[in-house]
Amino acid sequence: MEISSVDLQEKINSGKKVIVEFWAEWCGPCKMMKPLFEKVSSQNTSNVEMCTMNVDLNREFGASLGIRSIPTIKVFQNGNIIDTKVGMMNEGQINGILTELING
């Protein structure tokens, strides 16, 4: 699910567990990874929310989180960033991030 910076900030502030993929239309690796992220997200039945954010539409928010390269995945729990992964990932790696957050 694509999310705005306002909606994401609300989720983060609520203390929810959230995994966000930051991407852009012009980014080749992002175009390959986004469908994999969305597939894992669609199969997710946990209380972890998974969403994507276009950095071109949310430049200031992305910069405030230190997004310098994309694709980047940031993991939030209790209002804090607890993990950051930069670069292309496969479906198994994305599932691993989700599983770690569920079990962690």
Tell me the per-residue pLDDT of 22-56, one tens digit each, with 9 for 90 and over. Answer: 999 999 999 999 999 999 999 999 999 999 999 99
Q: Domain holding 67: CATH number?
A: 3.40.30.10
Q: What is residue 104's predicted lDDT score, i.e. its pLDDT?
A: 77
User: Are the beta carbons of 56 and 27 closer than 8 angstroms?
Assistant: no
Cα 18 to Cα 1, 25, 26, 85, distances in angstroms: 12, 22, 25, 14
Q: What is residue 37's predicted lDDT score, i.e. its pLDDT?
A: 97
> Could you list the active site residues?
27, 30
Domain that holds residue 36: 5-103
Q: How many domains does the chain have?
A: 1
- Spatial distance between the Cα atoms of 40 and 69, rounded to a whole number of angstroms: 22
Q: What is residue 1's predicted lDDT score, i.e. its pLDDT?
A: 85
pTM value is 0.94
Cα angle: 98, vertex 30, 93; to 5 degrees: 30
**Mean pLDDT throughout 10-14?**
92
Type of residue at 17 = K
- Spatial distance between the Cα atoms of 40 and 9, rounded to a whole number of angstroms: 22
pLDDT over 90 at 87, yes or no:
yes
* HSE-up (13 A, CA, CB side) for residue 57: 12
